[in-house]
Amino acid sequence: MRSSARQKSALAVTATALLALATPLLTGTDASAASVSTWDKVAQCEASGNWSINTGNGYYGGLQISMSTWRAFGGTSYATRPDLATKQQQILTGEKILAGQGQGAWPSCGPAAGLGSDHTNPYPASPSYPDPASLPAGTLVKSPNGPDVKVMISGAGVPVAASDVTPDHYDLSKIVLVDNSAFNGLPSAPPAGTVVHDQAGGAGRYVVVDGAALSISAADWTADGYNTRPDMGVPTAWLQTAAQHTVANGRVVMDQSGNDPARYVMVNGSALHISASEWAANGYDTRSLMGVPGEWLNGAAARQLPNGTVVKDASGADASVYVMAGGLAVPLTYADFTGLGYDKRPLEGIPGEWLKSVAAKAAPADGTMLLSPESNTVWQVTGGKKKALTADAFGPGKLSFDDVVSVPTALTAKLPTV
């Protein structure tokens, strides 16, 4: 570059520079290019690989570019001198010089590095990908960085399992590549209220709420107006999993048909009735209200809170903490709360009137298994009484210790023994 630069007149350099700048515009392609590794070889030869070098000889940076050449080929848009520009900025300017003057601009180092025979774009533009949220429902998408495939449903990217491809008739030849961050940022479940069915077929219809797929009965299909909504096919594996999920705790729901005017709050898969007095007092009126299938709601309202769920009155009127055991809310002292390990579980605020009704029950439901700290005996509730279980009652195909709920001694002490 040094010897070549001295041979160029200012006029010749400027004319060549203008031609180099104009050529890509005229042809639509780079007139010449070289990979970063080739430019590194040039810099190693010209400046011992030092991209910030300034020895005072009138040539600067890794490519030893003179100021007149730097200015002529637009380098000053990056920095006042080549050595003050980044490596990438020097290479981009070098690309323009290469296009205008060829590798002879670096008479010795250019040919030695293979500058004239390397036509690789050193900094190719990133590919442009479509916004996945703008794609039609049913479009298969994937990131260029991984093998996972999703199907677009109402702005969500629902995962497609390998086992779904054939039965669900997904055509992998029609996959659309999307930006990696956009792909990973897609919601994995369709928006609440989306009606879905198994893409592989079947008569079942579901409505999505908080990532859970709630079954819609034949009676609810028209009575609740679900038949008027778009019915989207989703991957079989995803639907099977979503059908086992529960609606998020704290979600307020109602019968979509309006036949039941009551409001409920979801806690661990159970729908707990909210009284009129608690609707506003407990702040339920400020939450999003979601309509759900009537038959599904009836089932959720009849379902007991799971054993071991720790609850309290959401209003704070009752400061006590309770643990659920067979549909009975069992009060816990602070010693019980910490000693039985319930302080390590989530504490769910629930409607006070519902809590009073389950706390007033005489005993847990039949079949509930209890363990209290005063002994190692596991008791099973039968007709409001307790019966001691022996070790041989547990095991494969029998009762499971996982279903035993720890309760205060006060509860087991008050239950008569069978």
Q: At 205, phi and psi to the nearest 5?
A: -125, 145
What tokens appear for 109 in the block? 């180092």
> Do the beta carbons of residue 380 and residue 412 sit within 8 Å?
no
> Rounded to whole angstroms, how far apart are CA atoms 337 and 310?
9
328-332: strand order across its sheet? 328-332, 321-325, 310-313, 347-350
From first CA to last CA, the distance across the chain in angstroms is: 102
| Number of Cβ within a 10 Å radius of residue 230 | 10
* Residue 221, CA distances (Å) to 241, 256, 263 in order: 22, 10, 21
Nearest-5° Cα angle at 47, 44 to 49:
40
> Rounded to whole angstroms, how far apart are CA atoms 52 and 81?
10
- Mean pLDDT of all residues belonging to the chain: 92
Strand partners, 352: none
Handedness of CA 395, 398, 400, 406 (dihedral sign): negative
> Rounded to whole angstroms, how far apart are CA atoms 84 and 65?
12
> Rounded to whole angstroms, how far apart are CA atoms 127 and 190?
28
Q: What is the pLDDT of residue 205?
A: 98
DSSP, res 399: B
Global pTM reads 0.73
Q: What is the pLDDT of residue 2?
A: 56
Q: What is the pLDDT of residue 165?
A: 97
| Residue listed under structure tokens 């077929």 | 201
Taking 70 as the pLDDT cut, the residues of the chain under it are 1-32
